[in-house]
Amino acid sequence: MSVQSAIKRKSAPDIRARKNGEPIVMLTSYHAHTAALVDRHCDVILVGDSLGNVMHGFETTVPVTLDMMILQGRAVMRGSKHALVVVDMPFGSYEASKEQAFHSAVRILKETHCGAVKLEGGVRMAETVAFLSERGVPVMGHIGLTPQSINTLGSFRAQGRDQGSWDPILNDARAISDAGAFSVVVEAVAEPLARKITETIAIPTIGIGASAACDGQVLVLEDMLGLSPRTPKFVRRYGELGPAIEAAIKGYADDVRSRAFPGPEHVYEMKKS
């Protein structure tokens, strides 16, 4: 007899069905405990390869490995119950061939039990997106600014500022949608182009630095919490946790140094936060 989980997680088709509907709320998480908090309010949790910058202090996402993504994907799945968990395919794990992409995606799905993967690229990745989607791997695309290509781009710059440069990005959006992706992240794209993409393609667009014209939004959790050392200009901060955490650490260090630390008279109990 099979045992069905009482809690139904959101699926890739659920998110696909939100085109032109209620805006999709997405945030990143890399840990079980932040995933539990994000899960209460978001439709999608992205285990982004931004973990390379945020958790590991790398300058770019290029050094991130498949094993790193799988480890944190498993933590996020343990911490969450409701949201669709999407795990990023890291640089070098999918570009060589559609077969390489399939093997990497299958490892991610089997080892984390997440509901979908995300990969960067438009027209050049369309064949791979179709290959994966046709074989049971839900794919979220990522177009506009694609941080894994930093070494060929040279810098992180907003895309599509003048109308003359729209065509390649529009073509990327169409190619990923037609290939069968269930949604697409649109990063650092000027509002008129983000609006045009959203009106043109059949799947939901999820913007980051791409205006409210998209079908949903995503931010890096640590950026919007004020925990990242550097954040892109477009990020609206909803907290300033960096200074709050430092004040708490300083309070602890001061207590230890002045021997004001609680002694054995305090019973050691776990408090639920």
User: Is residue 162 a known part of a binding site?
Assistant: no
User: Is residue 240 a known part of a binding site?
Assistant: no
Q: Kindly report the CA angle at 95 between 64 and 201, in degrees rounded to 5?
A: 105
Q: Which is nearer to ligand KIV, 50 or 205 (CB)?
A: 50
- Contact residues toward ligand KIV (CB under 6 A) are 28, 46, 48-50, 88, 142, 185, 208, 218, 220
User: Is residue 120 a known part of a binding site?
Assistant: yes
Q: Among all residues, which ones are annotated catalytic?
A: 187
Residue nearest to ligand KIV as judged by C-beta position? 48
Q: How far is the CB of 8 from ligand KIV (least distance, A)?
A: 25
Q: Which is nearer to ligand KIV, 128 or 217 (CB)?
A: 217
Q: Which is nearer to ligand KIV, 26 or 132 (CB)?
A: 26
Cα–Cα distances (Å) from 120 to 42, 61, 117, in that order, read 22, 12, 10
Terminal Cα distance for the chain, rounded: 37
Look at strands 205-208 and 84-88 and give their pairing: unpaired
User: Is residue 167 a known part of a binding site?
Assistant: no
Distance CA 28, CA 86 (A): 9
Q: How far is the CB of 187 from ligand KIV (least distance, A)?
A: 6
Q: How far is the CB of 134 from ligand KIV (least distance, A)?
A: 24
Q: How many CA atoms lie within 13 A of 140 on its CB side?
A: 33
Distance CA 83, CA 103 (A): 25
Query: From the annotation, which residues make up the binding site for Mg(2+)?
Result: 49, 88, 120
